[in-house]
Amino acid sequence: MKWYPNTATEAGFPIGGIGTGTVTLGSDGDLRDWEIFNRPNKGGQIGYGFFALHVEGQDKRDTRILRSRKTPPYSQARGYHPGWLYGMPCMERSRLSVEYPFADLEFEDDSLPVKVTLTAFNPFIPLQAEDSGIPAALFRYKIKNESGIPLRTTVAASLPNLAGYLGNDEFENMLLPQGARNRKKQQGGIRGLLMENPSCLPEHPRTGQHGNSDWGSGRRDPGDLADRRLVGWHGRFLASFFTGRQSGCGKHSQFHGKLAWAS
């Protein structure tokens, strides 16, 4: 199995159902090439879209974006947009390996007491075209406690409401129509937020819905946390928070999330 380090800046894995568009997971953990808007968008970046990790134990706390450090070449003529968050604390290194429809990403940081791995994939069932064409990307984070003390870990996901997204201007600011709406949804053990924009005309080629949900590991209400922590900061954003307690060295917690879209 071949591994691509985070310095392999062109290495990436497209995630999405067959014929539904894709989002690329880079070797650094970044999400790029957002091609879910009925048009090509190679290199397209979405601001404020990320996963983050919070670790606390005894008197120490640490929060990082789950992406490794940006490496040269730095190619943007005007620098990087603040929404891409390249100046935020992140992981030291990462490496990517792929076997379709799965991508495995391992993060390394000597200053953290945990090891983080991500398995990202999309629905793919041979001979079942309908199930293989579900417009979704799934992310499964696994956190291993490598310290000798109990830890509490939280994985958070943030994404803007992209319903009616028109692209970026010359300064990489996202062009989003007014009227975005986020609704909390729950069905069985799956909870999340549905993002839409009722002001967009149904016949518009970029009209649609998308959502972020968690299953199997949630401990908190994503809608309530979004209201308190993110919506007050930027009204178009959603957040899902998944919390797990790790009792000691070698213990694992798993966090599951899904990004889905429809147009």
Q: What would the pLDDT profile of 214-258 be if each residue is shown by its tens digit? A: 765 544 443 333 332 322 233 333 344 444 444 445 566 777 776
Mean pLDDT of 159-181: 88
Mean pLDDT of 121-133: 91
Residue 112 has a pLDDT of 94
The fraction of the chain above a pLDDT of 90, given in percent, is 41
If one compares 58 and 215, the residue with the highest pLDDT of the two is 58
The rounded distance, in Å, linking the Cα atoms of 124 and 35 is 19
Whether the pLDDT of residue 176 is over 60: the answer is: yes
Mean pLDDT of 139-147: 92
Element (H, E) at 138: strand 136-145
Across 27-86, the runs of DSSP E, i.e. the strands, are 31-35, 50-57, 60-68
Domain residue ranges of the chain, discontinuous segments joined by +:
4-159+236-262
Residue in the structure block whose two tokens are 């308190």? 228
The rounded distance, in Å, linking the Cα atoms of 220 and 125 is 32
Element (H, E) at 151: strand 151-160
The rounded distance, in Å, linking the Cα atoms of 143 and 75 is 33
At 65 the three-state DSSP class reads strand
Whether the pLDDT of residue 109 is over 90: the answer is: yes
Whether the pLDDT of residue 101 is over 90: the answer is: yes
The rounded distance, in Å, linking the Cα atoms of 104 and 25 is 10
Alpha-carbon dihedral angle through residues 133, 240, 92, 110, given to the nearest 10 degrees: -120
Mean pLDDT of 182-207: 83
Both structure tokens of 223: 């809608």
> What pTM, to 2 d.p., does this model score?
0.83
Residue 244 has a pLDDT of 46
Lowest mean pLDDT among 157-161, 188-192, 251-255: 251-255
Residue 237 has a pLDDT of 36
Lowest mean pLDDT among 74-83, 150-159, 226-235: 226-235
Q: Where are the alpha helices (DSSP H) in the chain?
A: 129-132, 222-225
Instruction: State the chain's mean pLDDT as an integer.
Output: 82
138, 122 Cβ separation under 8 angstroms: yes
Whether the pLDDT of residue 184 is over 80: the answer is: yes
Residue 43 has a pLDDT of 87
Residue 251 has a pLDDT of 63
Q: How does residue 262 score in pLDDT terms, banded at 50, 70 and 90?
A: low
* CA separation, residue 118 to residues 51, 59, 138, 141, 173 (Å): 11, 27, 10, 5, 29
User: In this predicted model, what pLDDT tens digit does every residue of 6-54 receive, in sequence order?
Assistant: 999 999 999 999 999 999 999 999 999 999 888 888 988 889 999 999 9
The fraction of the chain above a pLDDT of 70, given in percent, is 83
| Amino acid of residue 159 | L
